[in-house]
Structure 1
Amino acid sequence: MARNFQAGALRQQMARVLQAAGSSADEARQVADNLVMANLSGHDSHGIGMIPRYVESRLEGGLQPNTGMKVTFDGGAMLAIDGQHGYGQVVGVQAIELAMERAAQHGSCIMALGNAHHLGRIGHFAEMAVARGLVAVHFVNVLSRPVVAPWGGSDGRFGTNPCCIGIPLPGREPFVLDFATSRVAQGKMRVAHNEGRRVPDGYLIDEHGRPTTDPGVVVVPQSNGLLGALLPFGEHKGYGMAIACELLGGALSGGGTWHRQPDMRREVLNGMVTILIDPQRLGTGAAFEQEAGAFVDWLMQSPPAEGFDRLRIAGDPEREARAKREREGIVVDDHTWAEIVTAGKKVGLTDLPA
């Protein structure tokens, strides 16, 4: 079973939960807007289903509401920032806004953000940058229970470690590539588990290192309290990309890498290294506009393969999902909604519709 919500109503209800958990009204609204935008974009894994985990992290003392970023190094076009365990949807936006200001001044900026609580959908930050005409590259690591196995390994050793690239395309919608380096995002396994679905072969191994299609192996403890793991995408290629994200997003950001035994804490910390480039300031702006447009035009002339209605570039599926879900509503499965209602009760909010 499931229920359908209009985006506005969902934003309002989620903001109430977040405010009950200690956030100011403005912060609660900003985080709720970000989460609902993820749902609208078709990424339920990064949407309102994260709220129960945020509440639990808050109650554990990991997530720190109403906490802004702290600049720890300012080199003009180079910035190091501490998120201080604040909501990633807040400190991440603060960090990207400062980095965009510096890119406008200097033509580029390298920004390292550490110790941010869950940043959410990284594509949100790339969309902010391309709206200003900037190219954006993001490398992110995840400090939480390690849920992804190395290629050739049999247990989780690191997180889903996303990479994101945003490129403005003058006169058309931007290219926004946002992907986990695991075969699929951890949150999508939570959604599948809550909906009672199996997943395709090749996504998961169980707690003994054996292939499985049960998403519950990375959601709830299995035999002897152990959990399974996701596999990297593209075998050694995704594995290599995940390591790069750990070393850049984690080590280079100063936020840290994962190298300890897993536990069941609900805190999720992200580190992110972001590179912003102004094509106009690089001296190749005119060529960039002409060649990018010519390539995309050429690309779109390919006849669609069987089973496809048309060609798309990264960013198109999210834009299509937003239009559809704004019109038709956002479907939330009953299990996920029940978890949100329970989270609300934990922080004293008892009147969410059950």
Structure 2
Amino acid sequence: MLDKKFSPDRQTAFEARFEAQKIAFGPVVFQCVRYAWKRGMLQTLADAGETGLSIADMAGTGRWTEYALKVVLETCLSAGVVFVHDGRYALDKAGFCVLTDSITQINIDFNHDVCYQGLFKLDESLDAEKPIGLKALGEWPTLYQGLSELSEPAKTSWFAFDHYYSDTSFPSIMPDVFATAPRKVMDVGANTGKFSCAALAYNADVELHLVDLPRQLSVASTTLETAGVRARAQLHPTDLLDAALALPAGMDVIWMSQFLSCFSEPAIATILQRAAAALAPQGQLLVMDTFWDRQRYDIASYCLINTSPYFTAMASGNSKIYESGDYVRLAEAAGLKLLTARDGIGYCHSLLRFGRSE
């Protein structure tokens, strides 16, 4: 596991107290910075350049009152999003990131539109190990049953978050998927079918089997139809939480991408057992996921670690972003052994390749 250092080694008591206040007022800062971005304040300051604008200048546009500008920009000032010189506000580096960096914007939208209201129930969710906060979005046992029914803007923000982390990885992993020349590949947790479409486009002879909840497979089926590859795919509606349901057997490769993190450790154990049983004699299981302990930079680990409370309050109540060792341990208990591990895929993915241990 990589050592992570998220704060200075020798933090003074004063510095520690300041950091503690940032935590206490974190939700306030989040909402004000988001407002400044969404309502155009940051863009207006960016357009003004280093000379900046006064509150009166900005109020003169008629887009915001002086009161709103003072409240929001002063909070942005405290967060390093803007700075002040000679009574004029200008965009600082953090503000430039909010305004231009895709992953920052996707994370803000995801946390606001999907997680923010539900996280108020995080304490209850942790105690019960159930997604109590999900009621803020809809009445489903877990978020996965309701993905296709999410209202806007939560639906767009969820899929933007999910696809950003996965889609950046798909182009580079096809050689890994087909390294053993598989003829039958199973995509477990197929979601919208994007991986399956990419695999079918990459290899003209492969037979794809998609496994997911019925509602998700209906979305995947549409994706496959649009891509013109539906005839080469077989759909297997399955609730993976039902340990009695076996997976289709004889697979050369079983693929799981950002899938196991949706489940608790006991559920992962049963899924891996069924995956091991579904492999052909020389078949392999490929697991691509975002492991916080395998990241090169602390910023990636920070984002991943702080995604886990979403799984608690909103998604399942008992899953998280795992360390890679958790998967290896559970796979070994299922009769699998780690063959290779490759890091640095896409934005922050690693690929674990397993084979039968016997």
TM-score by length of 2: 0.25
> Greater helix percent: which structure?
2
TM-score by length of 1: 0.25
